[in-house]
Structure 1
Amino acid sequence: MKNKTIIISSFRNMTQSSKRFISLLFMALLGVGFYAGISSTSQDMLSTLDTYLDQSKAHDLQIQSTLGLSKADLASLEKLSDIDSVQGIYTKDELIEPVFSKAAPSKKDETAIAKVIGIPDKLDKISLVKGRLPQKDSEIVVEEAYLTKNKVKLGDSLKMTDSDLTNETFKIVGTVKSPLYFSKVHRGTTSLGDGQIDYFMYVKPSVFKQDAYSVIALTVKGAKEEMTSQTAYLDKIAAAKKEVESIKEAQETQRFETVYADYLNPTAMASGLVKRDSLPPAKWYITDRQDDTGYKDFIDTTKSIAKVGRVFPVVFYVIAVLISLVSMARMVEEDRSEIGTLKALGFSNPAIALKYGLFSLSATLVGGVIGMFIGLNLIPNLIWNIYTSLFTIPKFIVLFQPVYCLTGLAIALICICGGALVAVYRELIYTTSILMRPKAPKAGKRILLEYVPVIWNRFSFSNKIVMRNLFRYKTRAIVTILGIAGCTALILAGFGLKDSITDIVKYQYGNVFKYDKLVSLKASTDEQPLLNDLSKNKEVAHMANLSMATKQVSSHGEVYDVTVIVPDDIQTFKQVISLNDINDNKKAVSLTGNQAIISQKLAKLLKVQEKGSITFKDSRDETHEVEVGKIVENYIQNYVYLPKATSQAIFGEYDTNVVAVKLKNKLSTQADQKFDASLLTNQSVASVINSRTTVSMINDTMTSLNLVVLILIVSSAILAFVVMYNLATINISERKREIATLKVLGFYDQETDAYITKENTIFTIVGIIIGLVSGVYLCHFIISTCETDTLMFVRHVNTLSFVFASALTTSFTVIVNLITHFSLKKIDMIDALKNIE
């Protein structure tokens, strides 16, 4: 019967203290929703990738060889106990030229580099997007980007001249997606052109004349049942990789002897014309998914989101603890005499605590469940929509993640209900007689300002009361300031994250890359006619011959694909690319001597500093160590700059394949397009990369990240409002008698409002100042966890972001002060002033 009475009383309180109940509900909703949503996003993305790769039967391991791979290699791999399935695949890197009719003169005749692959029938299966798959050797399917970027449509043709292919011209019959290329950014490297593959394309395997496979794809037994990139999956892959390596040497020897059978016969060897050691060896390269740059970027992205999911909710929960503690403490204090009465009637301390526990528990459960469903569905989908600009995975899978939901709810229960129980038991320690009497007011004390007459005597009477109250209610003051500071810090971190992301384009193409055009040259062509034309062009200010190629660089066990830039002439190079030393106030440095200059993000990834060293591999797989001279400013992609002599010593003969062009003035869009079109008419030009177009594309990608910022800012803003409103409500409830006394003494409504709102304003100002300072550090911490291997965010927060964060918090104070005005008008003076006893 007693427990029933307590439960009824608790539910009655939910109606009577509805504002307090709703505020606790919103605290739980925001905390659980944000935690469950952000935490589950990384797992949803990983599950989406895993499902896509499983459905496409994507390889777990891949083998390539310097001399190709034979059917004998395929048969030997099929016998391994850890290998589930094996697929031999033909591939070729090709220069692709669109074949247009004379009726379409407006289309550009550009050369692109494509990875042409024979359609596999078992592993790494492609999915059709439009059209159909090739039925003849003269047909081909391409990725959608090739059509859109080159203004090509289904039914058009393309050309590739290669004696290893049965056809020269291919008709485009469809577009496809490939599990090998779900990243829109990375297409791999090649020895053709600038070293970067632009597109992937698929043809029938019979198109390839070669006998040897280019690649062998393998799946590992039991790997499909595990989540990709997770420990259990990686353990299975490592075991299978070790088993493959056990037959590696024998298969390499067998392949070597097969390929060079004519050279290794006794007659040839006896003649002395051929030496075994002089023949290029057959060398296997065994890679797994982790070695694919696009895959690694996706996994790194999920890890970054998971890290963010461990940072922001902490702030939400800390504020929830503070607010719930103060809110419930005030509720308990208001019910002080009732608690004493209950104790006098024989109710135990746990029974009385149950009343307030149920109140906070109900608010937390309702808010937590609502937040759980909103967070699980809204946040992952919003974030995934952002990353669709980087990855092409057909369908996003949102899963119910009970672990994150229950964890988030458990934390909320501990924070909010724990705060409520702490507040209750702080009162229950007193005896019944003490609880049944009003709590004695604190003894008045002089504050520090009263000892400074020059300042204190200038205050009006009402201002003196405000200043005394600020120091009288210390707990409420500290909680209010911390709550406002925390919310302001979150809002500023959101704006700062936006600044750091969006400014990288401006810094990359303002401080580092000065050129306007990057002209890629066709292989084995003379660039001099092009240079002569450019030198005569009145729009051209500077131009520089460059060699740009993607190479593998390593240090301290870390290996990365980077763009290596080698200038033909140092002086012209300075006009198009600026090398700014990050360790010397971004002072411009020259590329001299035999040292490499590397970009700052690459230095961080390779764990290398100035005077350290990095290692390159040449075409013969021999290593070359180069000392790092300077580390320079860079924000997008990773670069290594080498002097011409150093490059020749490592990679052999120098060959200009790119010309960087800087214009005298910025051209209009129409003039810019005309300039590009004139360049493409030159026989030696393969393609033109327009910096304006590149900047626009990157900005479009970066703009999509504003959704993440919007999620953060909106959540923080709601939190800020709930905190300020809740604390303002507590402030009024604590001082009803005081406010009623002022009204009886003849204070006008405006004067009574000022009595409260001045305190709110002071708290807001102090909270904003602390929040802005801490927000900068929070923003930098978030940036350091969110960066990918190819991006270096700018570590700064723009002045406008400080203004916006301050303005948002201030606007909430104004709204709360307006609500406070109407709450103060509703105070019943007689009820507030009557003797409690």
Structure 2
Amino acid sequence: MQKDNLGVSNAGKGQIDTFGVLTKSGFSQQTPNVAKISYDNLRGQSYSDQFEKRLNKNIDQAAPILAKRADKRQSEIKKQKETKIKNARTVLGQQKTSLFEQQTKLDWKKKQLELAAAEVKDSQQQLAGFQGQLQTMPAGSQKDAQNQQLQMQQQQAAVQIAQLKEGQEQWQKSSQALRSGQKRLAKTEDKLNQQDKQVNKMTGLTYQLQARSDYNQGYNQFGEAAKRIDVLSNTFPLIFFAVAILVTLTTMSRMAEEKRTDIGVLRALGYTKLDAMKLFLIYGTSAAVLGTAVGSYFGTWLLPERIYAAYAANLAVPTLQTPPSWLWIGISLVFALMCTVVPSVYVAWNSLKEQPAYLLVEKPPRAGSKVLLEKVPFIWKKMSFDQKVTIRNLFRYKSRMFMTIIGIFGCTALLITGFGMRDSINGIIDNQYQKITHYDVVGIYDPNASQTEKDNYQKQVHDIKTVKKQDNIYYGSVTTRPQGTISNQQISMMVPQHEQRFDDFLTLRDFSDHKKLKLQGHGAVITEKLAKLGHYQVGDHLDLTDSSGRSHRIKISGISEMYVGHDVILDSSYYHKVFGKQVVYNAKILDLKDRSANNIDQVSRKLNSQTAAVTAVQSNQAKMAINTILHGLNNIVWIIVIASSALSFVVLFTLTNINVSERTRELATLRVLGFYQRETVMYIYRETAILMLLGILVGFSGGYYLHHFIMETLPPNNALADMTLRWSNLGLSAGLTLLFSLIVMLIMVQKIRKIDMLGALNSAD
């Protein structure tokens, strides 16, 4: 499951950030609307082609069965709703009767309170008159008795007043409760009337079957990441292995040649051929076993954990378990033994065919030979001595020449591909959100909401001060399964109200010549990646499945450049032709002045606060999802670049070191003949530089094709990479190779300076 972009909502900013678990009683919607199905015939890897094909076959078989069930189920649902409404109206009638009875009682109570109030008023008037009479009476026992009687009557009047107030308060509360009940009944009746209308408007019920990859984006993203790793693992290791094998074969063969004299000594002392070869067997086996052990650790634990962590950064997945693959470790060991033991044993065995006395003497240097260029006198005669020697030496050691060129070619191609992948990946976001996508938010609302609610939504859009441009569109989601693929693709379908203004929000242009595309009444514009997936061309037809499961066929009138996501854009007339109804605009497309993520979230929250809101789609949601994927790819790219750089350095160092070691006598001769130190170094390095430059030039071509192949297959199904290789990719790759060559030269200079001239020249004696 993904850690962000978990889905859309009509609350907050329109995006689900987390999930919670509730009991069944916590749901107001008790009718289930999703059924999860498990099949017994699905076994094996979830993301394999066989699994996906079998799953799609199951879905295709279930679709007609559910289609037959749809009409019956619709009748059942309609009948259930009608029964529920009928029962609710019965209860509503009973509640109305009860409220009418309560109203009657309250009216009678009101009259009683009015009579009581009149009596209290009369009593107060009588008490006031009686009190006035007492004030005029002379003092005496009779007045005292009358005062006592007055006090008793006043107390009785106070009790009556208190009872009257209590009765009035109770009546007020009962009246308020009655009015609340009447309002509730009115709302309930309105709600039932709306439900009646909804039941009467019920259209054909449809079932929508979705595979796990269709509704679970985290599952789909994890599978896409695995496929991308598979592409890389089937491409780059082959080149690494080829170059590594080349270096290993050269090194081991050279070691066997250097030990030629030692083999002669052992044979002269009476050792058998097997004893003489034990050195190569033990050394080659030790190197193969040690290299396989170290490589197995890196390949089984270290690198997989780093790659897995990079790709799973945005996913909630279990901890990676990487048990050793003994089969592949065994295969690697066999190849390692073939590259270390076989060449050294082969060279040593050929040496053992010669007599020990001949082995004790160094092999004579290779004879020079004429090159083809010597047959072109007007060029050859104009060349300097150093240039002629360099060219002859290049063709004198043909095997080393080809090994150097091939090694530099492979390393340069890998570096170009690595740097090119980095820029192509980063270019996806730059091209999409600077040149093509100009809108920031699509606010979707319910077109069936009341007019007041829709007006409030429109008013909210106009009240947002950061809106630069806005327009009405129809926005919906459809799916398609491009021909030749096994998974459905999610597509955003848009129908602009004002086609001439739509370019302010989304630029539709041809991928190759960037010519603007216009919406036409006889077809729809689809995006480049969707066309590539299904091998569609202008004039072809594409089947779309809407949210209700119905299929619609559209004709492709244009293919637009698009790097993120799949879109289908139609004009209103063609929408009516395809879907058989007039388009109902249900969304506002907004271009904001402030395009920061914080402002986009605030705008989305304001839109979703409206009653008519369905959700808000942010353009940067896809951007963040792609960025997450690209972050994982960038980590892989850096691994490739670092490994390629290390391999390039090893190739240059190994081949240059072998070149110097093989030609020690030549270098000593040059020094004895009076060549300066710089001239002696350049005698060797001039050849290396030429071969390196040839390898770089050939590597440019190889890097171009390898980069193109990788970027065609590496991006996910909803992203299109920028195939352009920048000059900086070529320059940086060549620059690194030149830098490594310079470092190797500085190291080799010290080795050349330390050559014992006398010992080197006497070595043949």
Aligned length: 641
Report the Cα distance in structure 2 between the residues aligned to 1:675 and 1:192, rounded to whole angstroms: 12
SS in 2 for 1:581: coil
Matched, 1:203 2:132: no
Is the CA contact 1:548–1:566 (under 8 Å) kept in the aligned structure 2? yes
Task: Select the structure of larger CA radius of gyration.
Answer: 2
Deviation at 1:242, TM superposition (A): 10
Is the CA contact 1:594–1:643 (under 8 Å) kept in the aligned structure 2? no
Q: More displaced, 623-632 or 497-506?
A: 623-632
- 1:562 corresponds to: 491
Inter-CA distance 415–588: structure 2 relative to 1 (3 Å threshold):
farther
Q: Which of 277, 283, 291 matches 1:359?
A: 283
The AA in structure 2 aligned to 1:400 is P
Is the CA contact 2:431–2:563 (under 8 Å) kept in the aligned structure 1? yes
Deviation at 1:548, TM superposition (A): 1.7
Matched, 1:214 2:43: no
Is the CA contact 2:418–2:641 (under 8 Å) kept in the aligned structure 1? yes
The AA in structure 2 aligned to 1:826 is K
Report the Cα distance in structure 2 between the residues aligned to 1:527 and 1:594, rounded to whole angstroms: 32
The AA in structure 1 aligned to 2:7 is R
- 2:46 corresponds to: 228
The within-5 A match list for 1:735-754 is 735-754=663-682
SS in 2 for 1:796: coil
Could you report, residue by residue, the CA deviation over 1:139-186 in whole angstroms, capped at 9, with x for unpaired residues? xxxxxxxxxxxxxxxxxxxxxxxxxxxxxxxxxxxxxxxxxx447456
Is the CA contact 1:516–1:690 (under 8 Å) kept in the aligned structure 2? yes
The within-5 A match list for 1:123-142 is none
Is the CA contact 1:548–1:657 (under 8 Å) kept in the aligned structure 2? yes
Is the CA contact 1:320–1:416 (under 8 Å) kept in the aligned structure 2? no
Is the CA contact 2:544–2:553 (under 8 Å) kept in the aligned structure 1? yes
Matched, 1:544 2:544: no
Instruction: Name the structure with the higher strand share.
Output: 1
Is the CA contact 1:579–1:590 (under 8 Å) kept in the aligned structure 2? yes
- 1:489 corresponds to: 413
Deviation at 1:335, TM superposition (A): 2.4
Identity %: 29
The AA in structure 2 aligned to 1:599 is T
Inter-CA distance 249–643: structure 2 relative to 1 (3 Å threshold):
closer
Report the Cα distance in structure 2 between the residues aligned to 1:671 and 1:217, rounded to whole angstroms: 38
Deviation at 1:193, TM superposition (A): 13
The AA in structure 1 aligned to 2:474 is S
- 2:699 corresponds to: 771
- Unpaired runs of 5+ residues, structure 2, are 84-200
Inter-CA distance 241–792: structure 2 relative to 1 (3 Å threshold):
closer
Deviation at 1:532, TM superposition (A): 7.9
- 1:576 corresponds to: 505
SS in 2 for 1:375: helix
Deviation at 1:417, TM superposition (A): 3.4
Q: Which of 293, 305, 325 matches 1:381?
A: 305
Report the Cα distance in structure 2 between the residues aligned to 1:543 and 1:263, rounded to whole angstroms: 40
Matched, 1:302 2:226: yes
- 2:87 corresponds to: none
- 1:187 corresponds to: 7
Report the Cα distance in structure 2 between the residues aligned to 1:800 and 1:769, rounded to whole angstroms: 15
Inter-CA distance 679–249: structure 2 relative to 1 (3 Å threshold):
closer
SS in 2 for 1:588: coil
- 2:660 corresponds to: 732
The within-5 A match list for 1:383-532 is 383-428=307-352, 430=354, 435-451=359-375, 456=380, 459-521=383-445, 524=449
Report the Cα distance in structure 2 between the residues aligned to 1:234 and 1:625, rounded to whole angstroms: 24
Matched, 1:658 2:582: no
SS in 1 for 2:554: strand
- 1:599 corresponds to: 527
SS in 2 for 1:631: strand
- 1:714 corresponds to: 642
Deviation at 1:363, TM superposition (A): 1.2
SS in 2 for 1:587: coil
- 1:824 corresponds to: 752
Deviation at 1:626, TM superposition (A): 1.2
Report the Cα distance in structure 1 between the residues aligned to 2:627 and 2:2, rounded to whole angstroms: 21
Inter-CA distance 430–283: structure 2 relative to 1 (3 Å threshold):
farther
Report the Cα distance in structure 1 between the residues aligned to 2:260 and 2:397, rounded to whole angstroms: 18
The within-5 A match list for 1:609-628 is 609-618=537-546, 621-628=549-556
Report the Cα distance in structure 2 between the residues aligned to 1:257 and 1:433, rounded to whole angstroms: 104
- 2:730 corresponds to: 802
Is the CA contact 2:421–2:637 (under 8 Å) kept in the aligned structure 1? yes
Deviation at 1:413, TM superposition (A): 2.9
Instruction: Name the structure with the higher helix share.
Output: 2
Inter-CA distance 609–235: structure 2 relative to 1 (3 Å threshold):
closer
Inter-CA distance 425–631: structure 2 relative to 1 (3 Å threshold):
farther
TM-score, normalization: structure 1? 0.67
Report the Cα distance in structure 2 between the residues aligned to 1:449 and 1:742, rounded to whole angstroms: 24
SS in 2 for 1:590: coil
Deviation at 1:516, TM superposition (A): 4.6
Report the Cα distance in structure 2 between the residues aligned to 1:243 and 1:662, rounded to whole angstroms: 45
Deviation at 1:692, TM superposition (A): 7.0
Matched, 1:589 2:517: yes
Is the CA contact 1:610–1:631 (under 8 Å) kept in the aligned structure 2? yes
Report the Cα distance in structure 2 between the residues aligned to 1:405 and 1:532, rounded to whole angstroms: 67
The AA in structure 2 aligned to 1:360 is G
Matched, 1:630 2:448: no
The within-5 A match list for 1:664-743 is 698-699=626-627, 702-743=630-671
Inter-CA distance 421–302: structure 2 relative to 1 (3 Å threshold):
farther
Cα RMSD over matched residues?
4.2
- 2:212 corresponds to: 289
Inter-CA distance 486–829: structure 2 relative to 1 (3 Å threshold):
same
Inter-CA distance 254–676: structure 2 relative to 1 (3 Å threshold):
closer
The AA in structure 1 aligned to 2:365 is P
- 1:761 corresponds to: 689
Is the CA contact 2:5–2:621 (under 8 Å) kept in the aligned structure 1? no
SS in 1 for 2:471: strand
Inter-CA distance 356–631: structure 2 relative to 1 (3 Å threshold):
same
Inter-CA distance 618–453: structure 2 relative to 1 (3 Å threshold):
closer
SS in 2 for 1:217: coil
Deviation at 1:353, TM superposition (A): 4.4
- 1:813 corresponds to: 741
Report the Cα distance in structure 1 between the residues aligned to 2:68 and 2:523, rounded to whole angstroms: 40
Q: More displaced, 315-324 or 726-735?
A: 315-324
Is the CA contact 1:546–1:567 (under 8 Å) kept in the aligned structure 2? yes
Inter-CA distance 403–182: structure 2 relative to 1 (3 Å threshold):
farther
Deviation at 1:568, TM superposition (A): 1.0
The AA in structure 1 aligned to 2:498 is D
Report the Cα distance in structure 1 between the residues aligned to 2:356 and 2:669, rounded to whole angstroms: 29
Is the CA contact 1:193–1:520 (under 8 Å) kept in the aligned structure 2? no
The AA in structure 2 aligned to 1:313 is P
Report the Cα distance in structure 2 between the residues aligned to 1:437 and 1:835, rounded to whole angstroms: 8
Is the CA contact 1:194–1:550 (under 8 Å) kept in the aligned structure 2? no
The AA in structure 1 aligned to 2:33 is S
- Unpaired runs of 5+ residues, structure 1, are 1-180, 266-277
Deviation at 1:356, TM superposition (A): 2.0
Q: More displaced, 282-291 or 703-712?
A: 282-291
Report the Cα distance in structure 1 between the residues aligned to 2:604 and 2:26, rounded to whole angstroms: 35
Could you report, residue by residue, the CA deviation over 1:476-520 in whole angstroms, capped at 9, with x for unpaired residues? 111111111111111111101101100001111123213355444
Could you report, residue by residue, the CA deviation over 1:506-556 in whole angstroms, capped at 9, with x for unpaired residues? 111123213355444466367677778978999766433222211123453
Is the CA contact 2:308–2:320 (under 8 Å) kept in the aligned structure 1? yes
The AA in structure 2 aligned to 1:574 is D
Could you report, residue by residue, the CA deviation over 1:300-348 in whole angstroms, capped at 9, with x for unpaired residues? 3212212211211111121122222222222222223433455566666
- 2:94 corresponds to: none
Report the Cα distance in structure 2 between the residues aligned to 1:377 and 1:204, rounded to whole angstroms: 41
Inter-CA distance 668–279: structure 2 relative to 1 (3 Å threshold):
closer
Is the CA contact 1:320–1:415 (under 8 Å) kept in the aligned structure 2? no
